[in-house]
Amino acid sequence: MTQDWGKRTKLVHQGARRSQYGEVAEAIYLTQGFVYPSAEAAEARFVETGADEFIYARYGNPTVAVFEERIAALEGTEDAFATASGMAAVSGALSAMLRAGDHVVSARALFGSCLYILEEILARYGVEITLVDGTDLDQWRAAVRPGTKAVFLETVSNPTLEVIDLKSVAEIAHGVGAQVVVDNVFATPVFSRATELGADVIIYSATKHIDGQGRALGGVICGTREFIRNTVEPYMKHTGGALSPFNAWIMLNGLTTIDLRVRAQAASAQAIAEALQGDPRLARVIYPGLPDHPQHAIAKTQMGGFGTVLSLDLKSGKEAAFRLLNALNVAVISNNLGDARTIVTHPATTTHQRLPEDQKIALGITPGLIRMSVGLEDVADLIADIRAGLDMI
Ligand SMILES: *Cc1c(COP(=O)(O)O)cnc(C)c1O
């Protein structure tokens, strides 16, 4: 009905439903259950749940449904299922589609918990996992086979910001009938072109840019109506990873401004990367928007922008990295990303601490690496803050 709206219009209006009071802002339906007008009506609803009919908040809720409709319209998928966190979305999507004996090929550079789900949990249930270097298409070609049920990747990896050629990986995967599942957090719903490039299932941690203000956990799985309603929904409704109506309302408010926020944050990230490039204390400034980024050309064609995160690799290692982090006055030390506040992390000692030393090196997580999620502050203040910090090393 509203298919030809632009993204920003969808972000403000898509899926809105008003109660008899005609409220302007979305209502929070903070209710676990729903009253049926009669026993017959209850029976009928359990036989078939119609549009805008609900049974129990673990299955669905009016506020959550508005969020699902809005994000699906934004991503260009037929449907979406909202979850309690990004990890509930990743584990839900994969567990719902896979069974013992299936084979999955995944990029090696993954968010730690995603790697845990593949290597520790799914492997325990008889799913075979092959890890590849996501930027090497020959490795994807060599790894897929007729029994490959899914390929899994982060379109831009954390924290070294490698960009994977999604269109080519999708062609390789579809050649053997495998589904393409992407964890699209770093691309953001604003810059994502995952649907047109061939992704079948697109997952977001809503905790990041969708909330955008560091308040609530949430996640979402986007895909075809058949996949969402017949594969994901039965799994999620019986295992209990539903998004709360209150958090759905927070995410809806986040979506209203996400286009403005992410574009402003990406512009600042680009400006910071350019300002710091060539600094003698830095071995590398990693940002997909810099022409010297190894996958700059791919990033340019497959994303509407280069993202809100950059990484800095300090020549003098951990000690220098800690000095810089401790000297910053505007940016805060934390491990979230996509927040309105600029957030800095030392991956080697925090988010990726668990990894063995050789794997850290293989993934480019050096002792001097700092990940910076750029916020909404004045970019001149951020650059001055980082420059003053570098002078303290
Ligand atoms: C944060 C994050 C997740 C997990 O999301 P939560 O909401 O914290 O559960 C998964 N993948 C990526 C790439 C992330 O950045």
Same domain, 220 and 363: no
Q: Is the CB of 85 under 6 A from ligand 1?
A: yes
Same domain, 233 and 125: yes
Q: 58 is in which domain, residue-wise?
A: 7-254
Q: Which atom of ligand 1 is nearest to the CA of 219?
A: 7
Residue 328 DSSP symbol: -
Q: Ligand 1 centroid vs 136 CA: distance in angstroms?
A: 24
CA-nearest residue for atom 5, ligand 1, is 86
pLDDT band at 329 (very low <50, low <70, confident <90, very high): very high
Asked if the structure places residue 295 within a domain, the reply is: yes
pLDDT above 60 (res 214): yes
pLDDT score at 4: 85
Asked if the structure places residue 107 within a domain, the reply is: yes
Asked if the structure places residue 1 within a domain, the reply is: no
pLDDT above 90 (res 112): no
Per the structure, how many domains does the chain have?
A: 2
pLDDT score at 2: 53
Same domain, 84 and 110: yes
Q: Which two tokens stand for residue 39?
A: 């026993």
CA-nearest residue for atom 11, ligand 1, is 111
Q: Could you say which of 254, 282, 302 is where a domain stops?
A: 254
Same domain, 23 and 120: yes
Q: The domain that contains 307 carries what CATH number? A: 3.90.1150.10
Asked if the structure places residue 230 within a domain, the reply is: yes
Same domain, 58 and 180: yes
Percent of the chain with pLDDT over 70: 99
pLDDT score at 15: 93
Q: Is the CB of 204 under 6 A from ligand 1?
A: no
Same domain, 36 and 77: yes
Mean pLDDT, residues 249-254: 97
- Average model confidence (pLDDT) across the chain: 96
Mean pLDDT, residues 64-72: 97
Q: Which two tokens stand for residue 86?
A: 């990004």
Question: Which helix (H) or strand (E) element contains residue 371?
Answer: strand 369-373
Question: Do 102 and 181 touch, CB atoms closer than 8 A?
Answer: no
Same domain, 226 and 284: no
Mean pLDDT, residues 97-118: 95
Mutate to test the pocket of ligand 1, among 185, 201, 343 (most ligand atoms within 8 A of CB): 185
Same domain, 224 and 110: yes
Q: Ligand 1 centroid vs 35 CA: distance in angstroms?
A: 35
Report which residue type is found at 181.
V
Same domain, 292 and 212: no
pLDDT above 80 (res 3): no
Same domain, 158 and 289: no
pLDDT band at 199 (very low <50, low <70, confident <90, very high): very high
Mutate to test the pocket of ligand 1, among 183, 205, 335 (most ligand atoms within 8 A of CB): 205
Same domain, 385 and 344: yes
Q: Which two tokens stand for residue 275?
A: 């300002």
